[in-house]
Amino acid sequence: MRTLLGAALALALSGHSAADDKIDPQLLLGKWEPKEPKDGRRGTLEFLKDGKLVVTRSDGDKESRAEGSYKVDGAKLTVTVTADGKEQTDSRLITKLTDAEFVTTGTNDTKEFTMVRVKEKDKK
């Protein structure tokens, strides 16, 4: 789950690139998935408007779901998730956030993680 949390935050705003820029948290709202899933694992982060977060993960036939919260302070995104009875907190810097793409780097490293917005299927 820690990997998912990191990916969720790495998970990742039109032209924002400096860590001191303020990010519009409204642009985060919705469901995001990794641009390049690894090893057949898939997952999503869903940012809700009340500061809550839902993390889903599937690895083959195993699926899991965890809930948590998030906070945006400038360009810093902090996510706290409770999974398997353990609370985990991670922080990332948002380097880019648009309607379609969300890019973050670690607060202690420069490894980028890119997420793309999940497009909702047409409702009939």
Task: Using a pLDDT cut of 90, give the percent of the chain over it.
Answer: 53
In a domain, 45, yes or no: yes
Query: In total, how many domains does the chain have?
Result: 1
In a domain, 99, yes or no: yes
In a domain, 123, yes or no: no
**Mean of pLDDT values over 116-121:** 87
Range of the domain at 52: 2-117
3 state SS for 57-96:
EEECCEEEEEEEEEEEECCEEEEEEEECCEEEEEEEEEEE
| 1 pLDDT tier (thresholds 50, 70, 90) | low
Q: What is residue 111's three-state secondary structure?
A: coil
In a domain, 124, yes or no: no
Give the Cα separation of 64 and 86 in Å (integer): 14
CATH number at residue 78: 2.40.128.20
In a domain, 56, yes or no: yes
**Mean of pLDDT values over 83-89:** 88
DSSP 108: S
> Is residue 100 scored above 80 in pLDDT?
yes
In a domain, 122, yes or no: no
